[in-house]
Structures are given as structure tokens and as C-alpha cells.
A and B are shown apart, each in its own frame.
Chain A
Amino acid sequence: MGKRAEVPTVNAGSMADIAFLLLIFFLVTTTIETDAGLARMLPSTAKSPPVTIKHKNLLEVVINKDNELLVEGEEMPLHELRKTAIAFIDNAGEKDSCNYCKGEGLAESSDNPNAAVISVKNTRETTYEAYIAVQNELVAAYNELRNREGQRRFKQDYTAMEKAYTSSETDAETKQELKTKIKLLQDLYPLHIVEPKN
């Protein structure tokens, strides 16, 4: 008699299976999109007086229509570009204006990182891939130099600082501190990549 009065319970054993099924569906369809890329500022259209740059302060990089690289008029494989760019930026032809530079101080290369300008020229037929590869190598050159200076001054890589700065887990106080450090390193090796119009 007592047995009949009991309400039958719904078997919830398959609940986990159903939930798993849904879970796997969402796991598969989820692409946590993290867009990343090379950040750049375009030059403003405001008319500025033309600046004359001394030839030795300019590293001319040309990518032709067959995606070949010409640096200062000479052909160069892509993997040597970084080394060349670093040597150029860090050259310190004027020793007094860059006491942190470790370059060779060649007379025909740049005076100091602040004066050094890299010009990238491409044709309309150049592929985007080649262009990005060159841009990437140039940014890598700057990052390497900034990392070196970051290690020397703050015992921390510039790239690591930048990552920490953009991370949402860093608290406001550390961010402020990082910001000044990043600014300092950027001022030591300012990014001067120009794209002249022909």
C-alpha cells in the first residue's frame, strides 16, 4: 500500500548526456576570435613642409613586382633584412647623441635612432604577403632594440611590457608605471617607417 503512494521520479541520468552533446556542439563551433596584426598609423593628409633627410639617415627598402627585395639598391634575402635594419638604426654615427647605442658608428650610416628613417617602397603588383613580411621584419628590428634597452634599464622585455599593458589582468597602478617605461623605450627607438608616394 505505502509503495503505491510514492510519486515516480523522472530519471535524470540522461541529462548529463544531453548537456554533453550541447557542450560539444558549442565547443566545436566556438572560435574565440582574437584578431591580431601589425598596428600602424597612416600619415595625416595635412600639408606639412617637405623634410629633407640626409641620405645616410635613410635606409631605402624597395619591394619590386616579383617580390624581390632591394635594400639601398642591392638585392637582399628577406632573412637578412632584420640584421641590416638593426645595424642601420643602432649605428650611432654621432656618438654623443646616442650613448645607449651599440652600433659600429659608421660614417655612412645613420646618426642616431631618432634621425634614422626607413623608407619602404612597393609597386602596385607587389603581393600583400611580401609587404607584410617586410613590415614584420622591420618592426621586429625595432622590437629587438627596444627589448635590449628594456632589459638593460628595467630588466624586462619591451614586448613583455606591452603585452602586460594591454592585458586586462594588470591593475591600474602597474599600467601607469608600464606606460611611462614603454613611452621611454619608444622615444629611445622611435619607429620611423615611411612609405613615399611615387
Chain B
Amino acid sequence: MSRYRKKSTSVPEVSTASLPDIVFMLLFFFMTVTVMKDTVLKVDNVLPHATEVKKLEKKDRVISIHIGKPSSELREVLGSEPRIQLEDKFANVSEVGPFVLAKLAKMPEHIRPYVTISLKVDKKANMGIIDDVKEELRKVGALKINYTTYEGEVFRDR
């Protein structure tokens, strides 16, 4: 009797032997989806907010151009006028066209018509420099652009 009762009250332990497997699976997932940033930003880049956004789906069809004030460490040397950053170096407006063409040339031919230029512009930048960049892009025929923004209410931080 006593033996019977003892057996019924003992709760079987949950086996944790498969826990490492589960964790490893998650680990590999995150390891594969992690993208280490390939460019170091040398400009301030706080994007504005917008609600009516479209996602930029395919990474290989996007060319990014960063525009903003030089970041605080570089401001003493370069001043606080907004600058253009292509890949990881500063550039003049006139270099935007050749940069885009060089990038396009590296891409396989069948995706070239679908390439989008993603303009990542700091919200404090003024439109002058952006108009100049847009004019450059028109000259080289890169007409599909995307003003990259954060998703969120426009009126939130105004």
C-alpha cells in the first residue's frame, strides 16, 4: 500500500535533454539572419517618419545614398553642412552619378531595370542638396527612388 501511494504522488521530471538542440536551432537561425553593418556611418542619419510607406523588399536591388550632417566627431574638421556619403566615404554631388552607374554595372543585367535608389537622408538636412542629388540621378537615368523613412506618425515629433 505504502509503495503504491509513493509511486502515484511522485511527478515525473520533464526531460531537458532536447533543450540544447532547441536553443541551437534558434541560435543558427539568428546567426544566419544577422547582417553585420557593412558601412560605418559618418553622417548623422535620423530618418523622418512617414505612414504611407512601401517596403524595399529585395536587398540586392537597392543602392543607398546617405545624406546628413557629418557626425559629431567629424564636425570640427568638416563643418556642419550636410554631406553625401557613398558606401563609406564622403562625396561631392558630381560623384553621385558615376557611383550609381558603377554600382549598376556590377549588377546582373536582368535586375538593373528594377534597381531602386534608397535616399537615406537625415531629417534636419535641407532640400537643396537633395534636389542636387535628384538632378544627378535623373542625368544617369536612375529614376526609381525611395525616400527611406521610419514607419510612424508624421506629427509625433513636431
The answer on A and B forming one complex is yes
Give A contacts to B, CB under 8 Å: 12, 15-16, 19-20, 22-23, 26-27, 29-45, 78-79, 122-129, 131-133, 135-137, 139-140, 143, 159, 162, 166, 168
B57 interface residue, CB < 8 Å from A? yes
B75 interface residue, CB < 8 Å from A? no
10 A-B pairs with CB atoms under 8 Å apart are A35-B148, A36-B53, A39-B116, A40-B147, A42-B143, A45-B139, A124-B128, A125-B126, A132-B123, A137-B154
B-chain residues with CB within 8 Å of residue A20 when the two chains form the complex: 23
A132 and B138 contacting across the interface, CB-CB below 8 Å: no
A-chain residues with CB within 8 Å of residue B126 when the two chains form the complex: 124-128
B55 interface residue, CB < 8 Å from A? yes
How far, in Å, is A120 (CB) from chain B's closest CB?
A: 10
A-chain residues with CB within 8 Å of residue B62 when the two chains form the complex: 35
Check A37/B34 contact, CB under 8 A, given A26-B27, A127-B127, A166-B54.
no
Give Cα A31 to B37, complex, Å.
Answer: 9
Indicate with 1 or 0, residue by residue over B119-131, a CB within 8 angstroms of chain A CB atoms: 1011111111011
| Chain B interface size range | 35 or more
Give Cα A132 to B146, complex, Å.
Answer: 11
How far, in Å, is B69 (CB) from chain A's closest CB?
A: 12
Check A128/B123 contact, CB under 8 A, given A19-B23, A35-B148, A133-B48.
yes
In the complex, the chain A residue whose C-beta lies closest to that of B121 is A128
A-chain residues with CB within 8 Å of residue B141 when the two chains form the complex: 44-45
In the complex, the chain A residue whose C-beta lies closest to that of B19 is A16
Q: Which of A39, A123, A129 has the most CB of B within 10 A?
A: A129
